[in-house]
Structure 1
């Protein structure tokens, strides 16, 4: 599949809109395609419908296989659910499927349950899946009961499948408009193939082919999600403007080549955090009214926040944005991983599910899933070309700028790609002089067992990559091109762009630490804007943090996935910042120790200056109003008590201040 950013897509369109041709263009470069035909054969007396079916068959390349589901519409869900992660399916179309579903031969049937089964199969599908369906929501209401039943069934199926798919596109008059995130920009629908054509000619969503020379066009950044919250309605579903002013029609996750004058090179002069406010904030903590020894090692979080915010009383980070980088590394680096697992994690996060999205929802953090270019096997060839490295660096820089422009106060950098640990280990070996076995974690299978064979193959891949590049330069861009790959290159651009905009970044895992190692050659200031919450017990993170001078704040050994570990620690760090900003100085240092005044009801503790009633008998008592107590004895019960507070009847000398609340002052 040549289109990045989605795994399942629904292509909608009216009659003769070009929806089938567009769907076929999306899978034209797949090595093999299973074409799932849902419509029943044409009746003997319907030559026109038979001609349409024949035209569809002629367009299919010889490498495609065809599977029929007209005999049993319920089997479509089984076909989709049983497809493997390396397969590509094209279902054309759901209109024919709904027609067969409503056929009297298949009644009585539970149409609602069958549609729910289909949606569940699409949601769980690990294969590349393209579904075609007529859009009935814009058509007239049929005048017959059967027509209305078809419209209702197909409309319900379209809604359920659209909700389950990663992306949805509407084809109108041959023009594609993407309705749901996770899809490429609109592309021109290929000209319908006839009997003399071998197949469709696909027009890339990001290039316009002219005389054999592709011209790359910029694309917008991925959508920013807020897990746990309903997605905001688009202000202009038909179009908008990207960060660079380029018009765009829909969000995409494909990596663009940004047309910009930005030059990223070694020795860049970027800003540093405030060198005074950090130490001053830590000194201020010693004056706060805190019982015990204080905040311990978490004082460093306060110092970091103070230096990056430029104030001795830093505020808790809000809003926070998580950048989850998804990039695949081919070759030995991917040994021991489950095929399609990282793509499933990315889809899960993009859909607001999984550990990362749940923690983001609890923390009120935004989530942006970013697709990085796939990296070639580093042991046999460079992971990226020089042009791809430049594009990835500028792309990451732009992501950081967009976050800063949106008011984000903290970036969390995570990754979920295949082979990322081996690629990060190779970068550390090249930049810190480490050995691959010392920085590669053990490989754990899904069943919890240690796979030493896979670990040794990863070590061998790193060793062979370093041997292949032993005579190559070790500049930052050379390391990214030869060893780092797409996700580490994008992460490097993010760190540089965030530094330029004075935006702190919380690292979490080998990819971010490897990117921080690379930034030392480009801009040494970047590491001072990085915070490491927890090393997670990962040897590469430990080594990189030691070289960079980043001391992990915690030692929880969390292993929830890159990005999720940082989000788990984020509430604690926010609480520390809120506490440090709100507490007053200790009373011994001039702090305010007064109790707050009540907001309602008069103060019942207010001193009463009226003459108090005698404590003994009433006016008939013959005892004197006051007399000195007998030595060594107690005062008589009939003695008139002293007033509750100082007043005109007080004759004694006040030796201690009186607190109106009834407590002794001091």
Structure 2
């Protein structure tokens, strides 16, 4: 949840300003959230107030837990003080807390001391906390003593809590304005109140370098089309202790609610087995001047199967998940230090190849930080606990996308050593030889670095030798060889499968996750589509094992995720065309969509009598007996084929035109 490293955030705003929705958007990536409700139930006859409370409850995901603190004002400080580092708390709101604090039932009490106690609890809280509070300092001074007492107490509470928080944001008419720190964040989380994500409009922006990047790394473009960048990225490095945010139990998964966990052999949904072939058969009837859509008909069949209809529509809401996770040791030989972090920072700032393609496609972009994997030649990449947390976290990312109305996920990655990690996974799951699936190492100057390539091969070889007696189950492979990005990607594939969301794979990380997911849920690969192999030998082999034939052979190498986005407009055009084209006149009962005035046109109504449906209810109607016509097989003129002439039908295509 933390925004650019801040751990506690105070969200201020007026009535109906959107402050609560904004605060909720900051914690949507947390595996589980403790929602601390401070408002009292109120008068049972006040239906309007009850409706407000019900609306707040309806917005909370099922994985959140709600705790009422209205009974005792000091309990809120106690909860904050005892919260664990792996927890995420959302307090909504301090206005209700002050109302209870001023209640005569709690008097006499030292309100100033209670507010100071709350501020100290926020300052020392080990958990990640988002607090919501009304900003009443901009309104008129109340005319009643009780109203003035409330504004005074709330103003004092806001000042004390704001001083204790790492960040403060004021929401006005749904627009966040960051007050603390004084430097505007590189990107601001946007509320996800609607089901679909609308891309940001073109804005005039002065290119500035985010932290860790020089001015030379940022394109000086005055007019930039920015994608909808979801900056409430997951907490970085779950392998860091203390404060492991992924270690928290989650109720996001349907199976967790029944006491189960992600385990091999899960029964997840399959695409519609009939809709895909029906959609492909339907393409043969469309009014297309040529032979049809060629290999792209597979994209139509895939969309039809995943949408459960023979007339699929183009994907509207698309989200790109960019997994940023490095691999230590020899796997990252030949990479420039800090290059993957620069790419991730570019994406977060809405710049770079991936962000530009996302903006052109109207796709939202979410950067996900995965833990750095340990050197696989010496030790396991992750611990078993980290693997479990990463799988659940990836599942939760897919769930959040489905809840936001996303119709298609694009899975990409940027990290040092990802190709070597994917090669290790392929070697462990498909018996591949590392040199055969490791691509050549290309330096920034475009030269081939054979020395770095040999170091990567040696690292994978040593890792396989180290684990030669280890089990080869999915979780064992992720822990020993895969690393954080592959584990999160596997969770994304499983969660997307559970929510029936198709995924475009792009690059070694996604394909390695597809190989691992077979042991957990074999249905996952049927929800994946591979637009292009990108020239990666690991992608080619994994695609062959998974049965994912690449649609294109463009050999794009723009980075993971960018290759799929470059092909996305073509796939969308094909789906739109297949859904909009009418049936060919020769297959529609003689109907024509042409101009009735063109020469040679004959209206069928003028040449054939109208057909009248018989009245089956009349007594003179008699059902005739159906007789199957006699069939006699034609006798050949001699030995061999009946004719040696050319086929009457074309060898390819659906019909002669």
| TM-score, with length taken from structure 1 | 0.55
Aligned to 1:173, the other structure's residue is in SS state helix
Q: Which of 211, 232, 235 is residue 253 of structure 1 equivalent to? A: 235
Q: Deviations over 1:372-423 (max 9, x none)?
A: 1111111000000000000000000000011111111110000001111110
Return closer, same or farther for 1:226/1:178 CA change in 2, 3 Å cut-off: farther
* CA distance in structure 2 between the partners assigned to 1:530 and 1:344 by the alignment: 29
Question: Does the Cα contact within 8 Å between 1:414 and 1:508 map onto a contact in 2?
Answer: yes
Structure 1, unaligned stretches of length 5 or more? 13-138, 140-169, 181-188, 190-220, 232-248, 598-604, 607-644, 646-654, 661-666
What is the CA-CA distance between 1:172 and the residue it aligns to?
Answer: 3.3
Return closer, same or farther for 1:487/1:312 CA change in 2, 3 Å cut-off: same
Aligned to 2:582, the other structure's residue is in SS state coil
What is the CA-CA distance between 1:176 and the residue it aligns to?
Answer: 1.9
Counterparts of 1:346-365 in structure 2, within 5 Å, are 346-365=344-363
* CA distance in structure 1 between the partners assigned to 2:455 and 2:346 by the alignment: 29
User: Match for residue 167 of structure 2?
Assistant: 177
Q: Deviations over 1:59-97 (max 9, x none)?
A: xxxxxxxxxxxxxxxxxxxxxxxxxxxxxxxxxxxxxxx
User: Match for residue 549 of structure 2?
Assistant: 551
What is the CA-CA distance between 1:257 and the residue it aligns to?
Answer: 2.9
Aligned to 2:535, the other structure's residue is in SS state coil
Question: Does the Cα contact within 8 Å between 1:346 and 1:416 map onto a contact in 2?
Answer: yes
* CA distance in structure 1 between the partners assigned to 2:422 and 2:402 by the alignment: 27
Aligned to 1:172, the other structure's residue is in SS state helix
* CA distance in structure 2 between the partners assigned to 1:495 and 1:222 by the alignment: 25
* CA distance in structure 2 between the partners assigned to 1:402 and 1:282 by the alignment: 31
User: Match for residue 519 of structure 1?
Assistant: 517
User: Match for residue 390 of structure 1?
Assistant: 388
* CA distance in structure 1 between the partners assigned to 2:5 and 2:334 by the alignment: 22
* CA distance in structure 2 between the partners assigned to 1:226 and 1:171 by the alignment: 34
* CA distance in structure 2 between the partners assigned to 1:658 and 1:419 by the alignment: 68
* CA distance in structure 1 between the partners assigned to 2:385 and 2:3 by the alignment: 21
The answer to whether structure 1 residue 578 and structure 2 residue 560 are counterparts is no
User: Match for residue 637 of structure 1?
Assistant: none
What is the CA-CA distance between 1:7 and the residue it aligns to?
Answer: 8.7
Q: Which of 476, 489, 497 is residue 474 of structure 2 equivalent to? A: 476
Number of equivalences = 395
* CA distance in structure 2 between the partners assigned to 1:440 and 1:480 by the alignment: 19
Counterparts of 1:646-657 in structure 2, within 5 Å, are 657=602
Q: Deviations over 1:349-373 (max 9, x none)?
A: 0110000000001001111100011
Counterparts of 1:532-543 in structure 2, within 5 Å, are 532-543=530-541
* CA distance in structure 1 between the partners assigned to 2:577 and 2:306 by the alignment: 18
* CA distance in structure 1 between the partners assigned to 2:233 and 2:441 by the alignment: 36
* CA distance in structure 2 between the partners assigned to 1:393 and 1:452 by the alignment: 35
The answer to whether structure 1 residue 438 and structure 2 residue 436 are counterparts is yes
* CA distance in structure 1 between the partners assigned to 2:376 and 2:190 by the alignment: 27
Question: Does the Cα contact within 8 Å between 2:233 and 2:366 map onto a contact in 1?
Answer: no
* CA distance in structure 2 between the partners assigned to 1:252 and 1:517 by the alignment: 25
* CA distance in structure 2 between the partners assigned to 1:547 and 1:453 by the alignment: 30
User: Match for residue 118 of structure 1?
Assistant: none
* CA distance in structure 2 between the partners assigned to 1:440 and 1:222 by the alignment: 40
Question: Does the Cα contact within 8 Å between 2:324 and 2:344 map onto a contact in 1?
Answer: yes
Question: Does the Cα contact within 8 Å between 1:177 and 1:250 map onto a contact in 2?
Answer: no
User: Match for residue 201 of structure 2?
Assistant: 229
Question: Does the Cα contact within 8 Å between 2:585 and 2:593 map onto a contact in 1?
Answer: no
* CA distance in structure 1 between the partners assigned to 2:319 and 2:463 by the alignment: 34
* CA distance in structure 2 between the partners assigned to 1:453 and 1:8 by the alignment: 41
User: Match for residue 409 of structure 2?
Assistant: 411
The answer to whether structure 1 residue 594 and structure 2 residue 584 are counterparts is no
User: Match for residue 119 of structure 2?
Assistant: none
* CA distance in structure 2 between the partners assigned to 1:364 and 1:354 by the alignment: 15
The answer to whether structure 1 residue 528 and structure 2 residue 526 are counterparts is yes
What is the CA-CA distance between 1:253 and the residue it aligns to?
Answer: 3.5
What is the CA-CA distance between 1:178 and the residue it aligns to?
Answer: 6.0
Aligned to 1:325, the other structure's residue is in SS state strand
Aligned to 1:566, the other structure's residue is in SS state helix
Question: Does the Cα contact within 8 Å between 1:357 and 1:367 map onto a contact in 2?
Answer: yes
The answer to whether structure 1 residue 290 and structure 2 residue 284 are counterparts is no
* CA distance in structure 2 between the partners assigned to 1:495 and 1:554 by the alignment: 22
Structure 2, unaligned stretches of length 5 or more? 11-136, 138-159, 171-180, 182-188, 204-230, 239-245, 606-657
Question: Does the Cα contact within 8 Å between 2:376 and 2:459 map onto a contact in 1?
Answer: yes
Q: Deviations over 1:156-215 (max 9, x none)?
A: xxxxxxxxxxxxxx99323223659xxxxxxxx9xxxxxxxxxxxxxxxxxxxxxxxxxx
What is the CA-CA distance between 1:566 and the residue it aligns to?
Answer: 0.1
* CA distance in structure 1 between the partners assigned to 2:235 and 2:365 by the alignment: 14
Q: Deviations over 1:616-664 (max 9, x none)?
A: xxxxxxxxxxxxxxxxxxxxxxxxxxxxx9xxxxxxxxx984799xxxx
* CA distance in structure 1 between the partners assigned to 2:376 and 2:400 by the alignment: 31
What is the CA-CA distance between 1:229 and the residue it aligns to?
Answer: 3.5
* CA distance in structure 1 between the partners assigned to 2:416 and 2:233 by the alignment: 24
* CA distance in structure 2 between the partners assigned to 1:311 and 1:453 by the alignment: 52
The answer to whether structure 1 residue 494 and structure 2 residue 476 are counterparts is no
Return closer, same or farther for 1:401/1:230 CA change in 2, 3 Å cut-off: farther
Q: Deviations over 1:45-67 (max 9, x none)?
A: xxxxxxxxxxxxxxxxxxxxxxx
Question: Does the Cα contact within 8 Å between 1:257 and 1:391 map onto a contact in 2?
Answer: yes
Quick check: 584-593 or 335-344, which moved more? 584-593
Return closer, same or farther for 1:222/1:656 CA change in 2, 3 Å cut-off: closer
Question: Does the Cα contact within 8 Å between 1:372 and 1:487 map onto a contact in 2?
Answer: yes
Question: Does the Cα contact within 8 Å between 1:336 and 1:451 map onto a contact in 2?
Answer: yes
* CA distance in structure 2 between the partners assigned to 1:304 and 1:464 by the alignment: 39
Return closer, same or farther for 1:409/1:382 CA change in 2, 3 Å cut-off: same
Question: Does the Cα contact within 8 Å between 2:525 and 2:546 map onto a contact in 1?
Answer: yes
* CA distance in structure 1 between the partners assigned to 2:338 and 2:592 by the alignment: 60
Aligned to 1:413, the other structure's residue is in SS state strand
Counterparts of 1:195-214 in structure 2, within 5 Å, are none
Return closer, same or farther for 1:524/1:657 CA change in 2, 3 Å cut-off: closer
User: Match for residue 503 of structure 1?
Assistant: 501
| TM-score, with length taken from structure 2 | 0.56
Return closer, same or farther for 1:564/1:465 CA change in 2, 3 Å cut-off: same
Which structure is higher in RCO with an 8 Å CA cutoff and minimum separation 6? 2
Return closer, same or farther for 1:251/1:287 CA change in 2, 3 Å cut-off: closer
Q: Deviations over 1:256-294 (max 9, x none)?
A: 334232510000000100101101111111111101110
What is the CA-CA distance between 1:318 and the residue it aligns to?
Answer: 1.2
Return closer, same or farther for 1:295/1:325 CA change in 2, 3 Å cut-off: same
Q: Which of 398, 401, 415 is residue 400 of structure 1 equivalent to? A: 398
Q: Which of 302, 305, 309 is residue 307 of structure 2 equivalent to? A: 309
Aligned to 1:511, the other structure's residue is in SS state helix
Counterparts of 1:66-105 in structure 2, within 5 Å, are none
Return closer, same or farther for 1:596/1:486 CA change in 2, 3 Å cut-off: farther
Aligned to 2:483, the other structure's residue is in SS state helix
* CA distance in structure 2 between the partners assigned to 1:293 and 1:276 by the alignment: 23
Q: Compare CA radii of gyration and give the structure with the larger one.
A: 1
Question: Does the Cα contact within 8 Å between 1:517 and 1:544 map onto a contact in 2?
Answer: yes
